[in-house]
Amino acid sequence: MVIGSMKAEERIERSSRRSGSGIDLTCTFKLVALLWAVLPMAAIEAFDYKDALSKSLLYFEAQRSGHLPYNQRVAWRGHSGLTDGLQQGVDLVGGYYDAGDHVKFGLPMAFTITMLSWSVIEYGDEIAAAGEYHHALEAIKWGTDYFIKAHTHPNVLWVEVGDGDTDHYCWQRPEDMTTSRQAYKIDTENPGSDVAGETAAAMAAASIVFQESNPHYSHLLLHHARQLFEFADKYRGKYDSSVREAKRYYPSWSGYEDELLWAALWLHRATGKGAYLEYVVENGHRFGGTGWEMAEFSWDVKHAGVQILATKLFKGGDLPESQRRAAQQYRAKAEYYVCACLNENNGSNVHRTPGGMLFVRQWNNMQYVSSAAFLLSVYSDHLIKAEQRELQCPDGAVGTQELVALAKSQADYILGANPMRTSYLVGYGRKYPMKVHHRGSSIVSYKRSKGFIGCMQGYYDWYGRRSPNPNVITGALVGGPDSRDKFRDQRGNYMQTEACTYNTAPLVGVFAKLHRLSDQHIQIQEMSTPAASSS
């Protein structure tokens, strides 16, 4: 896979002068000093955020479908899904498996790419300083290359390959797949505004990432994003009504309205065109952007992300009256989410476990933890850049450093600062899940044993084993513990031990930011320590 040569050296040099959010280092140093001052000593553990960032990006290579490139770093994986789309006469080879199975679901895959792109947009300098910028672009491009293939006509998008029911019946390595590779599409007669809108958002966000390094590719992505948004908006409908095979696995509970707002905002950020911002203003109330108060952010429910992104984009003191009013409404809802995470929302807060983890629901709760940490990080940067040092929550004023502290506490919980003393990022630290619910990880590598493993043979010979998985799926963020911080590392406990691409994606930005803050904290300590006098 060839990627335009991003000027990583320029980013590293630039990041040495400024933080990724455009804040002068003097201001950032003050924030870092204040942040470490307000954190309790128990929270200041020596976590290696650079290592966590590196491992997070490595995970996406383990989830690749298609013909793997020469520089593939996850050696236990091989080529797979090489005939995807053949039955329908379209090339759908590539993309990502969403979790521990081998279906390619378009909606969560697109959200994964949007969040990876947003991480690079906000924290590209920090990612470059950690030496991971090229790997971040590779992870994004592996997804966007697939979306280009899947968008075969302005009003046609292939949104799923494989069938969840038959896929879950088998326990096989991806290299041995014998399950259905039926492909499913949306079109004018079978619309899917949610998945088309999210894919438009992903391609628009990715176009920003590639603007400097690969302008031709960036333009191509933007072309597809515009077409997909027009398709999603003109032919409205929920994709799980058109592709019923997706309904049991990734149903669009929130509807498609949030994705339309989300896509319009990313297109505005990518193009600067006012028409997209006007769309967000005109449809804000009807689509729930300025009306819904949400305490979660996920592949399905985008409202909090929409509200925070809108707050960032509606800036300047000379806005027209309609935009000024919309900006205030979007900001109020964005801060509802932030205050709810901070436990400062007059009782309407996100629940926390005894160990301090934000808890939304039992199944795969870590997706909400990682996305909250990311939104808190981004919003704290926004407030600082706007020279606003505190946020007015219903229960009182909250300093920007408290947003960063909460984001850090959630990242640290993931990495091991929790009652189980377990890192829920696989491969990081001394203790992490060893029996991840993941077919490829749990069966001997195809590179070591090329003998075919059949559909049920995998269940008989591998699924029930009590021993750890033979292949460590490094960088995977598993579903995590329950509301009492309890976690059972068992392969059959898929609610807790299955990992998903959209769990890890937001962490790329979070770990990059925390690595930079940690480095700056060390610099502050060194500057404040008097030089030893020579004897």
Per-10-residue mean pLDDT of the chain, 535 residues long, equals: 39 40 44 46 69 98 98 97 96 98 98 98 97 98 98 98 93 95 97 98 98 98 98 97 94 96 98 96 94 95 97 80 90 96 94 98 97 98 92 94 97 98 97 98 93 94 96 98 98 97 98 90 55 41
Whole-number Å distance between alpha carbons of 97 and 100: 8
Whole-number Å distance between alpha carbons of 487 and 527: 42
- Under 8 Å CB-to-CB from 132, ≥6 apart: which residues? 53, 54, 57, 512
Whole-number Å distance between alpha carbons of 336 and 261: 18
Are 477 and 366 within 8 A, CB to CB? yes
pLDDT attached to residue 45? 59
Residues classed as catalytic: 101, 437, 489, 498
Which helix (H) or strand (E) segment holds residue 184: the answer is: strand 183-186
Are 39 and 405 within 8 A, CB to CB? yes
Per-residue HEC secondary structure of 154-180 comes to CCEEEEEECCHHHHHHCCCCHHHCCCC
Order across the sheet with 104-105: list the strands.
Answer: 104-105, 157-161, 183-186
Measured at the CA of 130, the angle between CA 125 and CA 133, to 5 degrees, comes to 60
List Cα–Cα distances, 134 to 13, 418, 532, in angstroms. Answer: 16, 32, 40
Whole-number Å distance between alpha carbons of 128 and 126: 5
Measured at the CA of 108, the angle between CA 104 and CA 114, to 5 degrees, comes to 120
pLDDT attached to residue 376? 98
Which helix (H) or strand (E) segment holds residue 221: the answer is: helix 215-234
Classify residue 318 as exposed, middle or buried by CB count within 10 Å of its CB (0-12, 13-18, 19+). Answer: exposed
pLDDT attached to residue 535? 34
Are 303 and 289 within 8 A, CB to CB? yes
Nearest to 484 by CA among 368, 355, 341: 355
Whole-number Å distance between alpha carbons of 457 and 448: 17
Whole-number Å distance between alpha carbons of 138 and 481: 31
Whole-number Å distance between alpha carbons of 119 and 357: 22
DSSP H stretches of helix in 3-132: 8-15, 25-38, 49-62, 106-129
Whole-number Å distance between alpha carbons of 486 and 455: 32
Whole-number Å distance between alpha carbons of 352 and 51: 27
Count of H-run helices and E-run strands, the chain:
19, 7
Whole-number Å distance between alpha carbons of 142 and 415: 27
Torsion of CA 420, 423, 427, 429, to 10 degrees: -90
Please, which residues bridge with residue 24 across strands? 18
pLDDT attached to residue 393? 96
pLDDT attached to residue 239? 97
Reported in sequence order, the residue ranges of 460-531 that DSSP labels E, i.e. its strands, are none
- Helix (H, G, I), strand (E, B), or coil: what is residue 90? coil
Are 352 and 488 within 8 A, CB to CB? no
Which token pair is 16?
Answer: 């040495």
Nearest to 179 by CA among 188, 191, 168: 168
